[in-house]
A = this chain, B = another copy of it.
Amino acid sequence: MSDIKSFAVIGGDKRMIYCAKALEEDGFDVYTAGTGLESDKAPQEALQLADAVILPVPASRDNENIFAPLSKDKINAAELLSGCSKPVFYGNESLPVLKDTNSFCYGTRDDFKAANALPTAEGAIGAAVREYNGCITQAHILVVGFGRIGKVLSTMLSRIGAKVSVSARKSADIEMIKSLVMNAEYTNTLTGQYDIIFNTVPAMILDENAIACVKESGIIIDLASIPGGTDDKAAAGRGIRVFHELSLPGRTAPKAAGFIIKNTVLNVIEEEKL
């Protein structure tokens, strides 16, 4: 069993509030700071009371202060954490001070990404229901990419009965897609005609050529982080509406996303025997 019995949860959006709740439900003492909760403590106090620290994803947007959009005060990361010997869990490498601490990144782990694929896929489907004028179950849909999000999103769309194609680059993936009872296309030679294209690949995939595969009244839902994977000009030229759906799990399913942060941090603690 770990010696860590309490956490300081500092900064972050709604996900961190749910993360804090989930930790309490698991029996930990939790001290929050910069989350916008009434029970927030001063960051320094939360840090002193707790056995370990959890920073949000992203840990920072300006490489200086901890990301804390729900708090009025800025929390300077270096001031707070320099000299801190307690374990610090963080979402991504954006704060120089983390190099000098006993810190662990949870945001790049495979289990974190795999777990987030589900709320991300649900949010993407919600966006499609909201924006597409017809029924998505009657639409011809292409999911670009057969990574984690592509797998979960295409499986979910296929389960509800939509006509789903998935694009990939390797023949083994192509056969796997077919064995999961979906249609398959090679990403670099798209030929179908689709009502809805979901892009899950962080690269410029939906170029002029690919956009020609969208039907006249179709839409593109691009899940790739900025700058996205769609040639927006080419799409606009054809009257195709493009929706860049970003930070989906945090935005449409903060409770699920907070639960996943909690889970992953506990996985790290177990693996690292902290």
The answer, yes or no, to whether A253 is at the interface (CB within 8 Å) is yes
Task: Please determine whether A155 and B180 come into contact, CB atoms closer than 8 angstroms.
Answer: yes
The answer, yes or no, to whether A77 is at the interface (CB within 8 Å) is no
Contacts of A111 in B (CB 8 A): 171-172, 174-175
Name the prevailing secondary structure of the A interface residues.
Answer: helix
> Which B residue sits closest to A251, measured CB to CB?
B130
How distant is the Cα of A138 from the Cα of B257 in the complex, in angstroms?
13
Task: Please determine whether A252 and B129 come into contact, CB atoms closer than 8 angstroms.
Answer: yes
Q: Mark A133-175, 1 if CB is under 8 A from B, else 0.
A: 1111110000000001001100110111110000000111111
Task: Please determine whether B130 and A126 come into contact, CB atoms closer than 8 angstroms.
Answer: yes
The answer, yes or no, to whether A233 is at the interface (CB within 8 Å) is no
The segment out of A38-46, A47-55, A81-89, A116-124 that lies at the interface is A116-124
> Which B residue sits closest to A173, measured CB to CB?
B114
Task: Please determine whether B129 and A181 come into contact, CB atoms closer than 8 angstroms.
Answer: no
Copies of this chain in its oligomeric complex: 4
The answer, yes or no, to whether A254 is at the interface (CB within 8 Å) is yes
Contacts of A148 in B (CB 8 A): 176, 179
Shortest A65–chain B CB gap in Å is 27
How distant is the Cα of A147 from the Cα of B171 in the complex, in angstroms?
17
How distant is the Cα of A30 from the Cα of B211 in the complex, in angstroms?
31
Categorize the interface residue count of chain A: 35 or more
Shortest A165–chain B CB gap in Å is 13
Q: Which of B109, B116, B132, B178 contacts A118 (CB 8 A)?
A: B178
The answer, yes or no, to whether A225 is at the interface (CB within 8 Å) is no
Contacts of A180 in B (CB 8 A): 118, 151-152, 155, 161
Task: Please determine whether A115 and B158 come into contact, CB atoms closer than 8 angstroms.
Answer: no
Contacts of A119 in B (CB 8 A): 134-135
How distant is the Cα of A123 from the Cα of B181 in the complex, in angstroms?
15
Using A130-B130, A155-B155, A161-B158 as known contacts, say yes or no to A137 and B176 having CB atoms under 8 A apart.
Answer: no
Q: Which of the listed residues A18, A162, A253 has the most CB atoms from chain B within 10 Å of its own CB?
A: A253
Shortest A23–chain B CB gap in Å is 16
Using A114-B172, A122-B129, A176-B148 as known contacts, say yes or no to A137 and B253 having CB atoms under 8 A apart.
Answer: no
Of the A-B pairs whose beta carbons lie under 8 Å apart in the complex, a sample of 14, sorted by A's number, is A109-B172, A113-B172, A114-B175, A114-B178, A115-B175, A118-B179, A118-B180, A134-B259, A135-B253, A135-B256, A159-B159, A159-B160, A161-B181, A171-B271
Interface residues, chain A, CB within 8 Å of chain B? 18, 109-119, 121-123, 125-126, 129-130, 132-138, 148, 151-152, 155-156, 158-162, 170-176, 178-182, 217, 252-256, 259, 267, 271
